[in-house]
Structure 1
Amino acid sequence: MHKEMHADLIIIGGGMGGCAGALAAAKMGKKIVMTEETHWIGGQLTSQAVPPDEHPWIEQFGCTLSYRRFRDGVRNYYRDNFPLTPEARANIFLNPGNGFVSRLCHEPRTALAVLQQMLAPYTHSGQVTILTRFRVEKARTEGDEILSVTVGGMDDPIRIELTAPFFLDATECGDVLPLAGVEYVIGAESQRQTGEPHALDGDPQPFDMQAFTYCFAMDYLENEDHTIPKPDQYSFWREYQADFWPGKLLSWTGVKPATLEPIQYPLFPGKDWISLFGYRKIIDRNNFIPGTYPSDITLVNWQQNDYWLGPVIDVHEEEKVRHLENAKQLSLSLLYWMQTEAPRPDGKQGYPGLRLRKDVVGTDDGLAMHPYIRESRRIQAEFTVLEQHLSTECRGTDESENFADSVGIGCYRIDLHPSTGRRHYIDISSLPFQIPLGSLIPVRINNLLPASKNIGVTHITNGCYRLHPVEWNIGEAAGYLAGFCMQHNVKPREVRNNPTLLSAFQNLLVQNGIELAWPEMRPV
């Protein structure tokens, strides 16, 4: 079955950037169709089961007003619907899980509910249409314009051709780019190309990309046995050790990313406050009236289930499917190892009380609906952000490069996980940075904007532009830019390169709660 749909803006990908872009464009009165591969919109927050990674000042400043509304919505969701303890209810900075990766660790289903609530005025009125379980299949172009994008139903044999003046690619891997002939880059650049100190010394390696991860949720019921069936690849993963890793991957041995020193990570809190279970804990039962939750709940996105044996972008479908399945098997093998063989401080082996919480992630196999993809295809942009623009070491000052065309801000260390080229962590200090408009503008195509991790960054700088508040800001800026261009009948590159238009657009962003510059800050 073939259908056609028309809107002012087509957003392919319902992740954080897609949702933020839809909210922005809808606020400008535009009609939007947004598609999403999985059952859940929200991307990292929901279908990938990754609690927010945020900077130290997030409660005071450093994110957009709509992202702050989302965060407030998460806290209010628990206050309005859950029996919190009086202490938790009174805490204005309530952290439902008290995980230490974020000041706001929460369940994926909570993020989904809040995002749906934020979009509700527009979805209920028909201004925003959301199509879940649809995957992009092809794009039709003419010259430097995209005419349409076709998506296919993943559960039903239906094809929908989507037409609009503007398109956003908010997919996790930049999937629209190759279909529409948009110039893009993948993998690791060389120093010869970018001049970045941490780029490759030699030739670029397009298929050298950061590890991806299938996250999962688990709780712990100490006197029960919830051991899963032995995964098919368990024998392989039980013995696997990379040449650069200090021990077997399935062990409590990991590394400190910044120094690469080996470290033993405890599962549960002991003498060391840093425990794996507490790292991304999304429910702390002590925040709730006794009996609400039988156990704390945590999300497993650890060094032990990073998959780096091969990429899933721009490879043959068979190879992609194989790596995705291998990554699932790694995560399940990690759980099985913890349940059956993991050494315990009391001298015993295994924690059979660890329970895979399929309901938390909404899947039959208990793994997140979508892998956490850290590195996407990246547009060849009018401007590419380099390590030299924001690395503390490169700058030699307390400030990153000032971008006159800023459309937002972000802050995170340059944090690259081990790569498919079998290279170790790159984790280096960076300065609070801006998002330049030039990094959102393709070098040629006029009516497509990136709205996720697919902006004009490098393999290195992607390491700090890929986190939750930044992706949201990118998508929101892209949504406002598409709306602004339609209102003024101009192209995105004209907005950047015309001082009058740029000033008007930046004023629009500021009026809608997007911060364009940081106060005086410290490195992270």
Structure 2
Amino acid sequence: FFIDASEEGDLLKLSGTEYVIGAESQIQTGERHAPEKEDPTNIQALTHCFAVDHLEDEDHTIKVPDMYQFWKEYIPSLHPPWPGKLLSLAYSNPRTLHPKSLSFIPPGKTEKAPHTDPLNLWLYRRIIDRDNFKAGTFRSDISLINWPQNDFLLGNITDVHADIRKQNLYQAKQLSLSLLYWLQTEAPRPDGSQGWKGLRLRKDICGTEDGLAKFPYIRESRRIMAEYTILEQDISLEDRMEITGKSAEEARAKKNHDAVGIGYYHLDLHPSTGRDNYIDMASVPFQVPLGAMIPVRMENLIPGCKNIGTTHISNGCYRLHPVEWTIGEAAGSLCAFSLLRKAMPRQVGNSSKLLSDFQGLLVDQGIELAWPDS
């Protein structure tokens, strides 16, 4: 057996496994937030993350990135519109799509980074709070920069020509470096001045020469054509209330008899290469159905992460790392169980006896298959 746990679903393409990519149409899925027409090129933005600390009174300004002037003036062309330049302390509120202000104030030598309204982005993805450690362990907090401001929207890297892939990866890196340079030199400060030159790119955190992550954060990959495809109407709060006639407090996700794990996150689609702004809505705690992990034809390949049978929309909450880890646990256990019982994964899903035994194995391993109140 083979498990595809790659970021882009690489093994699906290499093995000839049937898959989909991009956005399905409303006619195909019946999802209220799906576009009118399918678009395989409409994929959520990727992001080249990086880590920084802040050493006040020191100058760690990087060399001007080659594409800085382009990214400094870049305004995303989205529907509904983005509020202005990407390199700014403003973005679209994911739920309302109204303009939303942000702040950025890193810590000083002794001062803590303040909690502010609007949100202080330094604290948004802070990975080290120096106050949690023995004095002198860290000179500064460390913050991971994975923001709307370095979401790359100009193109995809999956299922495109090698030259286009290379170009888009380069431009995505240039965007992240341009964001850092903008923060160091032009970002507004509370006292009216500009730039935080003490921001230091922590190359040691990512282990790379350029200081950026070794690979971009991929939100959407190839997805298997599965025996069962998870739809928006299986998990969105609005749909579940409408389908069940229950209140927001009582509504639950569609129950899956073949559940092999659980997960929860709101449906969170970042702006996409198809020029969609955020698609963000409430969901309900959900299950991971085994049917979404069984390809329609291929017998010995199992998806092990965000490449299961979801749609462009439902991927918005199954793509999160804790859910991917659950999928990976189920995939590994399924392969081991299939070998032990001399059965193919499809047979496990289609046999009530094998399925019950497999689910029992998962429970014995500490994997939860249902939410307590479901």
Q: TM-score, normalised by structure 1?
A: 0.67
**Inter-partner Cα distance in structure 2 for 1:520 and 1:484:** 29
1:302 aligns with 2:138: no
Is the 8 Å Cα contact of residues 150 and 175 (structure 2) preserved in structure 1? yes
**Inter-partner Cα distance in structure 2 for 1:312 and 1:471:** 21
**Paired residues for 1:218-367 under 5 Å:** 218-243=52-77, 244-268=81-105, 269=114, 271-272=116-117, 274-367=119-212
CA shift at 1:300, angstroms?
0.2
**Inter-partner Cα distance in structure 1 for 2:183 and 2:282:** 33
**Paired residues for 1:475-490 under 5 Å:** 475-490=328-343
Note the alpha carbon deviations across 1:334-353, whole angstroms, 9 max, x for none: 00011011111111011101
Partner of 1:57: none
CA shift at 1:254, angstroms?
1.1
**Runs of 4+ off more than 3 Å:** none
Q: Which runs of 5+ in 1 are unaligned?
A: 1-165
SS at match of 2:204: helix
Partner of 1:399: 252
Q: Which runs of 5+ in 2 are unaligned?
A: 106-113
Decide which of 221, 235, 244 is 1:390's aligned counterpart.
235
Is the 8 Å Cα contact of residues 57 and 198 (structure 2) preserved in structure 1? yes
Aligned AA for 2:18?
Answer: E
CA shift at 1:178, angstroms?
1.1
Partner of 2:290: 437
SS at match of 1:331: helix
Note the alpha carbon deviations across 1:86-126, whole angstroms, 9 max, x for none: xxxxxxxxxxxxxxxxxxxxxxxxxxxxxxxxxxxxxxxxx
1:195 aligns with 2:27: no
Is the 8 Å Cα contact of residues 103 and 116 (structure 2) preserved in structure 1? no
**Inter-partner Cα distance in structure 2 for 1:272 and 1:292:** 30
CA shift at 1:520, angstroms?
2.2
Aligned AA for 2:17?
Answer: V
SS at match of 1:508: helix
Q: Which has the higher strand share?
A: 1
Q: TM-score, normalised by structure 2?
A: 0.94
Q: Percent identity?
A: 61
Partner of 1:520: 373
Aligned AA for 1:390?
Answer: I
Partner of 1:376: 221
Is the 8 Å Cα contact of residues 103 and 118 (structure 2) preserved in structure 1? no
**Inter-partner Cα distance in structure 1 for 2:118 and 2:29:** 40
SS at match of 1:519: coil
Aligned AA for 2:360?
Answer: N
Partner of 2:3: 168
Decide which of 345, 351, 372 is 1:492's aligned counterpart.
345
Partner of 1:418: 271
**Paired residues for 1:178-217 under 5 Å:** 178-201=13-36, 203-217=37-51
**Inter-partner Cα distance in structure 1 for 2:35 and 2:2:** 33
Note the alpha carbon deviations across 1:351-393, whole angstroms, 9 max, x for none: 1011100001111100001100000100000000000101000
**Inter-partner Cα distance in structure 1 for 2:341 and 2:371:** 29
CA shift at 1:271, angstroms?
3.6
**Inter-partner Cα distance in structure 2 for 1:256 and 1:475:** 32
Note the alpha carbon deviations across 1:63-103, whole angstroms, 9 max, x for none: xxxxxxxxxxxxxxxxxxxxxxxxxxxxxxxxxxxxxxxxx
Aligned residue pairs: how many? 355
SS at match of 1:474: helix
CA shift at 1:273, angstroms?
6.6
Aligned AA for 2:280?
Answer: D
Aligned AA for 1:216?
Answer: F
